[in-house]
Structure formats: structure tokens, C-alpha cells
């Protein structure tokens, strides 16, 4: 019989958050597949696990994946963990889980801590529905597309970011969402220096530009509260007339484009292009 792949959530920082079931699982399996073995070794020592610790991360090759699958096919139980929180949430473990399922290997979740849920719980923003975007690309079209999705989302948006780039992310979000949109920056969740700072995107961008963040960071942004209008690839016939009227009111080109996109349902990209061509 094949072994079982256990997907085990581990603490964000406070070891007290490790569930008894998770601890027992880590003690009982033959192998633990970890994102960073040096980071995870103290956790296994803490629970008294003698499992073999193998590396499995974003840069692991086909050989590493095959090695774990062979262990599972041979009847050994394997626990998949990430550095902190729940595997597969902005984590490469999805390749192992998908491959195990394709082979008919049982996959069992051992739920527990998640930075997404922990940040939503303390942000003070609606959490009945939310959009999780993980880590955004540093630049390029994909970053612009995801930023636009954050700006137009009717629901609260959750993102991860490196502490070195938090101020840049907040400034970019202020551009697409508007500087007055509410947000929260949750830092070092469950750890000694845990901090959650709330305010507008403009306020938070200014704060972290002057006081760079440290540690693991989760950003939570207020949604629009309304369903995004249907988007069109081409402006409606009267869009140019409305754009001229907005500029005549004294609005800047950026503000006029934002208003035009909101009122007509065209994309911000199309609106900016139209306004700049006038």
C-alpha cells in the first residue's frame, strides 16, 4: 500500500500555535519535506521527531519530486511543510500534491496557522469575502494586471510582500486604488515584535518609506464594496465627450482618467490613453 502525504500547517512564529495533531503527525511520518531544512530542523527537534528531513522548494528539480513520490509509493508516510503557515499558499508544494494525486496516493490536510487568515482577523476590514494575490511580480505587465485587479476588487485584498519592498507596493496600490483607500500592514504575526498598522494607503506608504519594515509582512487592502463594472476593450462613443468635460472641470489627467473608467466601465488603461490623446 502507498503511504500518505500529509500537508501540515506549521506556526508562523509562535511554537505554541502548533496543533497536537500536527506535532503527532511530524513524529509519526518517515519523511518530512521542508522548504528550508535548516529552518525546519528546530521544529522537528521541538516535537521530538526523528523523521528524515528532505528539501523541497521552488527550485527543486524533477529528481527531488520523484524521490518523494517513490517514498510514498513504497509505503512511507511523508509530511509536507513550509517555512511558516500552510503549505501551497504562495508555496511550491502544489507540484507534489498534484503528482501524488495523479498516482492515487492519499493526501490529508493537517490544518493550522495561515498568515492570510491571521492578518484578516486583525485588519478591521471585511473578511466574509476576499481576494488573495500572494506575492506580486516585481515589475512588468503581470504586476500591472494584478495591481489593477486589487484596485477594482469589490472585496478585501490580501497580499504578501518582502519587507524591502513594502513602501513601493503601498505606493503602487495608492496609485491604482486611490490614496484614501483603507489598508493594514501586519508584520511579524505571532512573533515577539508583532505589529499591525492601519490607515490609508497614502499614510502607510509614507510611514514605511521613512521607517522600512522588518520581518514577514502581509498587506490587507479594503475593497471597493461594489461589483466592478463590465469592462470593454474599446471606449463607448461618448467617452471622448465625457473625458473633455472632466478635463474642463479642472481635473488632472490621472483623476480624469480614473473618473472616466469608473463612469463608463472602460479599463483604466483605455481611459488613460484616451485622456492623454486629447
Strands ordered across the beta sheet of 31-34: 52-55, 31-34, 78-81, 5-8, 107-110
| Average pLDDT for runs of 10 along the chain of length 278 | 96 96 98 95 97 93 95 98 93 91 97 97 97 95 94 97 97 96 98 97 97 96 78 58 83 86 82 85
189 and 94 part of one domain: no
C-alpha cell, 164: 524591502
List, for residues 194-251, the tens digit of each pLDDT value: 999 999 999 999 999 999 999 999 999 999 997 655 554 544 547 888 888 888 888 8
In a domain, 255, yes or no: yes
Residue 167, SS3?
Answer: helix
43 and 137 part of one domain: no
As a whole number of angstroms, the distance between CA 55 and CA 42 comes to 15
Residue entry with cell 521541538 = 46
C-alpha cell, 190: 505571532
In a domain, 150, yes or no: yes
**Which of the 8 DSSP states describes residue 187?**
E
CATH number of the domain enclosing 94: 3.40.1010.10
Domain count, the chain: 3
88 and 145 part of one domain: no
41 and 56 part of one domain: yes
Give exposure, 103-141, as e/b (b: 16+ Cβ within 10 Å): eebeeeebebbbbbebbbeebebebeebbebeebeeeee
In a domain, 232, yes or no: no
- pTM, two decimal places: 0.79
CATH number of the domain enclosing 215: 3.30.950.10
Are 79 and 19 within 8 A, CB to CB? no
105 and 124 part of one domain: no
In a domain, 186, yes or no: yes
Phi, psi of 81 (to 5 degrees): -130, 160
91 and 161 part of one domain: no
72 and 18 part of one domain: yes
Containing structural domain, residue 183: 116-221
175 and 255 part of one domain: no
In a domain, 230, yes or no: no
What pLDDT score does 228 carry? 53
Q: Which of these, 134, 212, 132, 131, lies nearest to 166 by C-alpha position?
A: 212
105 and 154 part of one domain: no
Alpha helices by DSSP H, listed for the chain, are 20-28, 37-47, 62-73, 94-102, 115-123, 141-152, 166-177, 201-210, 239-248, 253-264, 268-277
CA-angle at 267, arms to 266 and 269, nearest 5° = 130
**Which of the 8 DSSP states describes residue 230?**
P
Amino acid at each position: 500500500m502507498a503511504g500518505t502525504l500529509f500537508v501540515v500547517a506549521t506556526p508562523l512564529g509562535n511554537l505554541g500555535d502548533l496543533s497536537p495533531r500536527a506535532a503527532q503527525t511530524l513524529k509519526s511520518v518517515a519523511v518530512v519535506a521542508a522548504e528550508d531544512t535548516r529552518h525546519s530542523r528546530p521544529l522537528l527537534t521541538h516535537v521530538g521527531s526523528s523523521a528524515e528531513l528532505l528539501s523541497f522548494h521552488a527550485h527543486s528539480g524533477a529528481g527531488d519530486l520523484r524521490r518523494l513520490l517513490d517514498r510514498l509509493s513504497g509505503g512511507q508516510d511523508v509530511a509536507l511543510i513550509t517555512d511558516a503557515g500552510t503549505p501551497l499558499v504562495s508555496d511550491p508544494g502544489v507540484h507534489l500534491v498534484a503528482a501524488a494525486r495523479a498516482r492515487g496516493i492519499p493526501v490529508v490536510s493537517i490544518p493550522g496557522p495561515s498568515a492570510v487568515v491571521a492578518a484578516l482577523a486583525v485588519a478591521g476590514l471585511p473578511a466574509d469575502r476576499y481576494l488573495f494575490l500572494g506575492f506580486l511580480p516585481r515589475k512588468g505587465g503581470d504586476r500591472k494586471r494584478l495591481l489593477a485587479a486589487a484596485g477594482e476588487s469589490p472585496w478585501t485584498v490580501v497580499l504578501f510582500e518582502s519587507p524591502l519592498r513594502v513602501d513601493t507596493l503601498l505606493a503602487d496600490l495608492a496609485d491604482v486604488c486611490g490614496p484614501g483607500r483603507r489598508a493594514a500592514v501586519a508584520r511579524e504575526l505571532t512573533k515577539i515584535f508583532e505589529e499591525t498598522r492601519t490607515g490609508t494607503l497614502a499614510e502607510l506608504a509614507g510611514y514605511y518609506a521613512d521607517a522600512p519594515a522588518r520581518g514577514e509582512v502581509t498587506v490587507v487592502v479594503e475593497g471597493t464594496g461594489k461589483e466592478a463594472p463590465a469592462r470593454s476593450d474599446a471606449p463607448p462613443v461618448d467617452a471622448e465627450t465625457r473625458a473633455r468635460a472632466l478635463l474642463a472641470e479642472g481635473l488632472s489627467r490621472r483623476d480624469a482618467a480614473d473618473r472616466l473608467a469608473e463612469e463608463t466601465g472602460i479599463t483604466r488603461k483605455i481611459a488613460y490613453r484616451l485622456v492623454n490623446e486629447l
